[in-house]
Amino acid sequence: MPDKDAGTPRVFLVRHGETEWTISGRYTGRSDIPLTPNGELQISSSARKVVGAGKIIDPSRVARVFISPRTRARRTYELLFDNASKEILEGKSEITEDIREWEYGAYEGLLTAQIRAGRKERGLDTDRPWNIWTDGCEDGESAKEVSSRLDQIIAKIREIQGPYMHGEKGVDVVLIAHGHILRAFAKRWIGFELGMRLPMMLEPGAVGVLSYEHHRIDEPAILLGVNLGESESGSKE
């Protein structure tokens, strides 16, 4: 059976590799924590499997790469693409604050249990436990503020991909960022408010995929599964 959505542009969500704070579960926003050796290995392993000519992330089909300014994300970019790929992507990569991690404010470096305990001591959350998706962060960002900056980059991506919904040109996009912001991005991609329940997981070094249904720019979708085998490369430009 033919794939009715073949050639539809994709958006790849790449979470940076492991850091010491991802191991402990501490909220890591502006803190510039480097990758652990294992975190670097995670990215290198993912790169071997999914990046390259004819693979899921084919640099010749990538129109833009958006990278969080944090060291852990920039290092992930360096490991994800080899020198040949970087040559292909020259002029297409952009470091942007739009996909920096959620600004955790007073919660930076804390664990969820610590945040909830502290809020309870201050008389907050009497009806239910703290939830970042609805409550945001004290001295940090609200869900509305996060949505606003993500919507800006989503609009930019759809402007890039809209004219080429049938694969006429390689316009895939790669985002290299962080656990919370990439899950928030996925929600906004399909039009969900951040407070709407949509449990998602994205491991360090993992790659998520978004796309569209029926080759339509107004039907964004979460791509639940991709074929991991290689295919014939080459664009229809």
For residues 33 and 19, is the Cβ–Cβ distance under 8 A? yes
* Residue 230 pLDDT exceeds 70: no
Active-site residue set: 16, 101
- DSSP notation for 16-37: ---BHHHHHT---SSS-PPBPH
The Cα–Cα gap between 82 and 52 comes to 9
28 is in an annotated binding site: yes
203 is in an annotated binding site: no
pLDDT at residue 129 in the model: 94
103 is in an annotated binding site: yes
128 is in an annotated binding site: no
pLDDT at residue 20 in the model: 96
Name the token pair of 26.
Answer: 């501490």
pLDDT at residue 231 in the model: 55
For residues 169 and 7, is the Cβ–Cβ distance under 8 A? no
Any idea what DSSP says for residue 100? S
Tell me the percentage of the chain whose pLDDT exceeds 90: 90
How many other C-beta atoms can be found within 10 angstroms of the C-beta atom of residue 212?
A: 22
pLDDT at residue 79 in the model: 97
pLDDT at residue 49 in the model: 93
Lowest mean pLDDT of 88-92, 102-106, 123-127, name the range: 123-127
* Residue 236 pLDDT exceeds 60: no
DSSP bridge pairs for 93: 65
For residue range 33-81, list pLDDT tens digits in order.
Answer: 999 999 999 999 999 999 999 999 999 999 999 999 999 999 999 999 9
Name the token pair of 222.
Answer: 């979460």
Which domains does the chain carry? 11-222 (3.40.50.1240)
27 is in an annotated binding site: no
* Residue 234 pLDDT exceeds 50: no
DSSP bridge pairs for 76: none
| Sheet strand arrangement including 207-212 | 93-95, 62-67, 172-177, 11-15, 207-212, 220-222
Beta strand 220-222 with 207-212 is: antiparallel
